[in-house]
Structure 1
Amino acid sequence: MQSSSLTRYEQQDALGVAMTVVIGFEGSANKIGVGIVRDGEVLSNPRRTYITPPGQGFLPSETAKHHRSVILTVVREALDEAELSPADIDCVAYTKGPGMGAPLVTVALVARTLAQLWGKPLLGVNHCIGHIEMGRLITQANNPTVLYVSGGNTQVVAFSERRYRIFGETIDIAVGNCLDRFARVIKISNDPSPGYNIEQMAKKGTEYVELPYTVKGMDVSFSGVLSYIEEAAHKMLSSGQCTAEDLCFSLQETLFSMLVEITERAMAHCGSQEVLIVGGVGCNLRLQEMMGIMCKERGAKLFATDERFCIDNGAMIAQAGWEMFRSGYVTELPDSWITQR
């Protein structure tokens, strides 16, 4: 029997326990995703990406316009792929923040509207927690030290005293933002993402260019590295001292070494034997390789996911929403706002 023929709260597992279905809306940056999760099972997870020409970033207003143009189509895809109807949904979850203001507002508006049309409870979800909960679901990591690396965030997070706590973070720009801005300098394509294209170019790099390495206790700083390599790119590329591939290779090695260092320090502090990498930059295989070497030396385990769940997606919001909803949380309509921080 297809689940779409069952009404709300009538979907049951083999033991007769009522199952909970949550639809999640993600749109904090240039990706708009809608995912549906049923008790730890991802039923659907379609996504669209707003891609700009090489050398350009994405403006909040233009990104929001893109999201408005496709979001209802993505909602329909999610429901069709999951073989569900709105009657089967138990809760509507959306990204409350952090993220870019205009895209967040667009997604929140759609989520609020559908929740009222469908007569379902609403839940505002922390984007960062969404990444972590999705990573834990997919990898089955138990209680890991989490490295959360994306275009807007860089944090080392661990669960301590019944709360997620930040043990280290960037003090200026995120690692993904650093990579993206360097990609604009050397005019790397944004399709499918600048970080992915830097990763592919880095594989062809042979010469390491010395770059600033800035670790301050448990925190890192990337703005100085970016300024240095931007200047180096203009000088060294024009003079033929190195190739663009060499610079991509050098940038990755430097940034990722810094991230591995603070992650290991957090592991030692927490007594952890597991590392989970989440966020869009977490798809990078070189980062996973470097972290894996560190974990092997410590006798620890590394957990990571691929681009389906690492990059911003709706299922991660649905999963975090599922955890919250089952714990009794609901966002009342007057509180269903967004925050960029």
Structure 2
Amino acid sequence: MVIAIGFEGSANKLGVGIIKDNEILSNCRKTYISPPGEGFMPKETAIHHRQNILAVLKQALDEANIKPNEIDVVCYTKGPGMGAPLACVSVVARTVAQIWNKPLLGVNHCIGHIEMGRSVTGANNPIVLYVSGGNTQIIAYSRKKYRIFGETIDIAVGNCLDRFARVLKLSNDPSPGFNIEQLAKTGTKYHAIPYCVKGMDVSFSGILSYMEEKSSKLLKNGYTVEDLCYSLQETIFAMLVETTERALAHVGSKEVLIVGGVGCNLRLQEMMRIMCEERGAVLFATDERFCIDNGLMIAKAGLEMFNAGIRMKWEDCGITQRYRTDDVDVTWRKD
């Protein structure tokens, strides 16, 4: 029985989670919410994490009902992510690992999402659609690597949604993407938006620029805010389904797993499920407990690494803002 604790703080979600083999002991999280019409900046986000991390750590230990001496390995998000928040949380992870005299492992944020998703859903070897505020990738496992089949060539899908929410001055509580999803449910009038798929890659910056430029005019010409949210969602989600379907066909897989914060979106899950059913495949998805950034997913991936014999030197336990998914040797999976 191995117990791992994970620290996550790559963006505006601060999380600490504890796992014992496949048993979830705790999964605590606190989110930095910026004012409507504004995004979260690295400095303010790092201040939020620094002010709250000890309280979240205590909550996680209390909920798990374990003592530090029972923990076998301390894990933290090494990257990718925003520099200041990453550094803030990694310092705490390094400190407690030294105080508790435990080994320390830096985890790739995306790998954390994938391993948590596979564990919770039972997906074996799926095509993974990783969609969040900072990342958009279509991934498949092969030869000890998570290979990127396609990705955004500019901004992430979550960033596109977040920035459009700012145009509409929507609340960031609980998240701008969630609020767009709720509005889109009652949208009925579809406006044709530029559709940008380039082979296996997608592009969202032009779509965002189009929506920023046209929104005011459209709202004066009979479209509602709900219609605009509906139109944007339908278009960008169709792009994601198309590229995921192409990867599914190429690999010959029968499973799709959606991970990342945008993966909570029920409309995206519905569209992907329809595609999977047409191809005789199965969709796996989770709810906000595991889709949205959390410390538990870092603990889970770190646990897999630890059990596979992976160890890191203290001098290697820094942060890497641009830490590619396919940079990681996935030695714990059996080909």
The TM-score with structure 1 as length reference comes to 0.94
1:264 aligns with 2:245: yes
The equivalent position to 1:150 in structure 2, one of 132, 135, 140, is 132
The equivalent position to 2:283 in structure 1, one of 302, 308, 311, is 302
What one-letter code is carried by the residue in structure 2 that aligns with 1:279?
Answer: G
- Once the two structures are superposed, residues 113-139 of structure 1 have per-residue CA deviations (whole angstroms, 9 ceiling, x without a partner) of 000000000000000000000000000
| Aligned match of 2:45 | 63
The equivalent position to 2:141 in structure 1, one of 156, 159, 171, is 159
| Aligned match of 2:8 | 26
Task: Report 1:1-341 matches (<5 A).
Answer: 19-237=1-219, 239-341=220-322
Cα distance between partner residues in 2 of 1:220 and 1:240: 29
- Once the two structures are superposed, residues 303-329 of structure 1 have per-residue CA deviations (whole angstroms, 9 ceiling, x without a partner) of 000000000000000000000000111
State the identity as a percent.
72
Cα distance between partner residues in 2 of 1:162 and 1:184: 40
- Once the two structures are superposed, residues 243-286 of structure 1 have per-residue CA deviations (whole angstroms, 9 ceiling, x without a partner) of 11000000000000000000000001111000000000000000
Cα distance between partner residues in 1 of 2:146 and 2:308: 16
Q: Runs of 5+ in structure 1 lacking a partner?
A: 1-18
How far does residue 232 in structure 1 lie from its aligned partner after superposition?
Answer: 1.3
What one-letter code is carried by the residue in structure 2 that aligns with 1:132?
Answer: I
Cα distance between partner residues in 2 of 1:340 and 1:180: 20
Task: Tell which structure's C-alpha radius of gyration is larger.
Answer: 1
- Once the two structures are superposed, residues 122-166 of structure 1 have per-residue CA deviations (whole angstroms, 9 ceiling, x without a partner) of 000000000000000000001000000000000000101221100
Cα distance between partner residues in 2 of 1:264 and 1:169: 14
Cα distance between partner residues in 2 of 1:261 and 1:88: 46
Quote the RMSD (CA, aligned, Å).
0.6
What one-letter code is carried by the residue in structure 1 that aligns with 2:26?
Answer: S
Number of equivalences: 322
How far does residue 241 in structure 1 lie from its aligned partner after superposition?
Answer: 2.4
Cα distance between partner residues in 1 of 2:31 and 2:43: 15
